[in-house]
Structure 1
Amino acid sequence: MRFYPATLSRLLAVAALAFSPLSWAEQAISDGVYEIHYNAFNSSFITPEVAQQNGLMRSKYRALVNVSVLKLQDDGSKQAVTAIVSGQAANLIGQAQQLEFKKIDEGKALYYIGGFRFTEDEQLKISLSVQPDPNKPAYNIEFDQRFYVD
């Protein structure tokens, strides 16, 4: 099966909508200059082919965090931009896993994907630092999400 550039974009969007408990609310922040979109979902929701093509690890005990950054243009359009992205996922007793983000460039779409482990019915606090402009402070984003084994 051949995957086209927008395939990962569509799969990430579908996974976010179908499986994220917070998917009904937009998971994004904006300051009028940048929009930062983020979500987390079970890695088994992406196909083995997409995972292999993008160097992502799939497991029923592994989740992915997806971050994309858009810069608002003067004409009202939005353009994907690079950023410095880091973060961690911590459980309720404070055990944290550092997220290693991989940049996935699909031309007009740019994503940062990081993975982490979880156990059945585990509530995690995901903390992100997203810095689109290296000369300005990073945006700090935190959200809680419960994960289930697929």
Structure 2
Amino acid sequence: MKRLGLFLITACLSVGVMAADVIKGERKEVFGDVTVHYNTFNSTFLTPDIAKGAELIRSKNQGVINVSVIKGGKPLIAQVSGTVKDLTSKTVPLSFRQITEPGAIYYVAQYPVDQQETRTFEIKVQIGDKINTLNFNQELFPGQ
């Protein structure tokens, strides 16, 4: 599982270079003393071993969203939920699973990517009774 964590951290910090709000390849939102790191990518970027270890489907028509929540430099347990919407306003709920490793907590979900298009993501991160929402657009491409 250590390889999974390393991959998800790398994916979270490097694939997001396309976003306008990226600083040093990192996509994040800061809510007070809590930082939410997030990224989305096609599941074909995962090696078969990592996909299997994370119980993710590796397919050219499947995307992955990876979210981590940090407070004071340490991973934080949260409730993560969200949706992804296409240009026709068809909304798909995201079913996040928590992956816990020594020193890291990740929340991952998959969604279909049938064609090239820009999608709108709405992610809710709940810590205690406080809910923080982040919204972003991402152009997606089916994998090769």
TM-score, length basis structure 2: 0.88
Larger Rg: 1
Give a deviation string over 1:69-104, Cα, whole Å, max 9, x none.
0112xxxxx110100000011101100110000100
Instruction: Report the CA distance shift for 1:147/1:12 in structure 2 as closer, same or farther (over 3 A).
Output: same
In the alignment, the residues of structure 2 paired with residue 35 and residue 41 of structure 1 have an alpha-carbon distance, to the nearest angstrom, of 20
Structure 2: unaligned runs, 5 residues or longer:
none
Check conservation: 1:20, 1:41, Cα contact below 8 A. no
Partner of 2:124: 129
Partner of 1:21: 18
Identity fraction in percent:
30
Cα deviation for residue 24 of structure 1 reads 7.6
CA RMSD of aligned residues (A): 1.8
| 1:57-96 matches, cutoff 5 A | 57-72=57-72, 78-96=73-91
| 1:100-119 matches, cutoff 5 A | 100-119=95-114
TM-score, length basis structure 1: 0.85
In the alignment, the residues of structure 1 paired with residue 121 and residue 84 of structure 2 have an alpha-carbon distance, to the nearest angstrom, of 4
In the alignment, the residues of structure 2 paired with residue 94 and residue 68 of structure 1 have an alpha-carbon distance, to the nearest angstrom, of 27
Cα deviation for residue 149 of structure 1 reads 1.6
1:50 corresponds to 2:43: no
Give a deviation string over 1:101-137, Cα, whole Å, max 9, x none.
01000110100001100122121001100012x222x
State the SS of the aligned residue for 1:11: helix
Check conservation: 1:20, 1:40, Cα contact below 8 A. no
Partner of 2:39: 39
State the SS of the aligned residue for 1:49: helix
In the alignment, the residues of structure 2 paired with residue 10 and residue 20 of structure 1 have an alpha-carbon distance, to the nearest angstrom, of 18
Instruction: Letter of the 2:4 partner, please give it.
Output: L
Instruction: Report the CA distance shift for 1:18/1:36 in structure 2 as closer, same or farther (over 3 A).
Output: closer
Instruction: Letter of the 1:107 partner, please give it.
Output: P
In the alignment, the residues of structure 1 paired with residue 142 and residue 10 of structure 2 have an alpha-carbon distance, to the nearest angstrom, of 18
